[in-house]
Structure 1
Amino acid sequence: MEYLGYVASIIIGLSLGLIGGGGSILTIPILVYLFKINPEIATSYSLFIVGITSLFGCISHYKMGNLKVKSALYFAIPSIFSILIVREVIFPKIASTIFSIASYQVSKNFLIMIVFSVLMIAAAVAMIRKTKNIPTPPTTNYTQLGIIGFIIGIVTGFLGAGGGFLIIPALLFFANLPMKQAIGTSLLIIFINSFIGFGGDVFKGISIDYKLLFTISIIAIIGMFIGTYLSKKIDGAKLKPAFGWFVLVMGIYIIIKELFLN
């Protein structure tokens, strides 16, 4: 299963390079089910893997002129606060066993995987559906951009997910960015948010297998370069529905596994 996990790690970067999101959607299931990492610890690993992969994607998009730093910072700075609040204040106070129904116990790890599977299904539906052109405002609404950033930071903090599929629509609508610039700017935001969250976890003294973490990250970065290269030749819009069906199946599988197969 571990070797399959390494192969699957390529898809993390491939997705980020091709369509600007989806890497974090796959990272948690890969870590939990293929590498057998505790879901709570996996959220920390995910932040690093998605963050470092997004950094390399940022560099590529910067060279292509697809990076809007001002919009990224207005979005990312409020996100930093919500990420730190969730991971350093709220997350540690959630009990290992949240509540019990008869002999059935609902644990923190169970909650993480169920919430994550719901996010996967929601993201999958958004990818599968044909989206209409979103009317963009004449100017960037930095106030609303910051508010959305704070909200998405909560998702990033709790699930260890970069939130690319939430960030990109926000940049399209509130920052008035074309699609390619929204993808590049999204990667910068994901990098900032992910590393702030991971840095907070390291400061807390969380136990990390750095050899495994770096190995998965390197493979994901290779996938990112492949995805970025292919994005110049393949229309990402055509790949989104296919990837969406894949994510949908995985999300449903996680729910079934957590509810009935554990």
Structure 2
Amino acid sequence: MEPQSSVLKKFSLHNRSIVITGAGRGLGLSFARALAELGANIIAIDVHDKPDEEFHDLLSYGVKTVYYKCDVRDPATLKATIGEAANKFGSINGCIAAAAIMTDKPFMEHTVDDMNASFAVNVNGMLSTVQICAEHMIKQKSGGTVICISSTAGHKAVFPQTATAYVCSKHAVLGLVRQAAAELAQHNIRVNSISPGPFLTKMLRSVIAGDPALEEYFSEGNAMKRLAVPEELDGAVGYLMSDASSFVTGNNFNIDGGSGCH
């Protein structure tokens, strides 16, 4: 006889509706694909007019999807957008806050405006996303799961890259996650973060194109001596978003090829 609750069933996201910011392309779109494969309905939010073509492939998993153009720096519009999605899909069961920007500028040239611009998206936009989604989960009395995307830049400098504002903002993400996890646990809402290392997204490819020496730097900066592909985050995202991680909150997962070994 088959067990009533197998390990595989714990990873199922069937009929759960997940908000993902920054989901129009890059890692956010990769997260959407992974969760759709596990049965989740996808509410994708990004600042671009339309997502990459690969977004439409999500329908092949038999889930519901919707894409909204919305800037996470605008809390009122973000709240209205997520509210519309909740009405459309019936609930909000989780979110991945992945929207982020990076300013590439030497430390001595960084300005307060540069810092404010990065924090507006990478921290304040994340705060709004988590608060709005949590508000729906609390109202539903359903609990839920939140994943915030930090970076290895949230744990160390990224020299020879020059990205002071980005580094500071990703450090701040880790603090946001710990505090949110502590306060939202009473509502059965779990909050964790993932800190990816160098993943070959379109953004990183463009960075390397501007400075080819960075490819060797990124590869040599981890124990596995290579760059990663977005699909290598699927397992962590699926685990943290599902019941398989039901006793995990306030934690950060480094997915970095062992950069901490160096």
Same topology, TM > 0.5 = no
Bigger strand fraction: 2
What TM-score, normalized by structure 1, do the two folds share?
0.28
User: What TM-score do you get using the length of structure 2 for normalisation?
Assistant: 0.28
Higher relative helix content: 1
Whose RCO is larger (CA < 8 A, sep 6+)?
A: 1
